[in-house]
Amino acid sequence: MNFIFDVGDVLIEYKPTVYLRSLFSDESVVNELNELIFKSPEWLIMDEGLLTHKEGIEIFCTRKPEYREEIRRVMEMESYGKALYPLDDTLELLPKIKNSGHVLYYLSNMHKETLDYILEHYDFLNMFDGGVFSCNIKQRKPFPEIYRYLLDRYSLDPLDCIFFDDVQENVDAAEKENIKGVLFTGAQCVLEYL
């Protein structure tokens, strides 16, 4: 069986509002910046690798110049990167999955700069046999092309794949490609399939 994992909130913590609250005590600023940055269409375009980190910052600053300083603080990669820490409960399962004779892949929406940070600071991706990051192929979940790309690239039979993601829309999209989709709610939900 091929075990396919999303990365954000499955293998690493990704909670934008928690991160923003670590920087700002004013909840109205947190909400404003969350909408402006993390819920913006540009954030998704950055995931697709069609907009750079720097270009995103400029767009956000142009849109809300009164938050220029705060935007730059939020988007400073060393600061933002520290909010992305490994989820040990899931990572501890990876060797067990491999030792049970299964194969590991990742499939994740991610900006190039975030990916670079993770590769520089963590080594858990070395446990995987392969995978796809959206920024590298200019496609993102939940669009079907990214699932098909993973299947084609590694010659995977979708009926021999199981995909764990914390977003129902992404799980549903996998199911449309005949991949068994599981909404990730914690490491326990993975154990059920070992």
pLDDT tens track for 74-106: 999 888 887 898 999 999 999 999 999 999 999
Task: Give me the residue label for tokens 């402006």.
Answer: 36
Q: For residue 12, give the DSSP letter.
A: B
Query: For residue 121, what are its two tokens?
Result: 């600071």
DSSP output for 110-145: --HHHHHHHHHH--GGGGSSEEEEHHHHT--TTSHH
> What local confidence, expressed as pLDDT, does residue 142 receive?
98
Provide the whole-model pTM.
0.94
d(CA 127, CA 129): 7
**Mean pLDDT value of segment 158-174:** 98
Q: What are phi and psi of 165, to 5 degrees?
A: -145, 145
Instruction: To the nearest 10°, report the CA torsion of 86, 111, 119, 179.
Output: 70
**Mean pLDDT value of segment 110-118:** 93
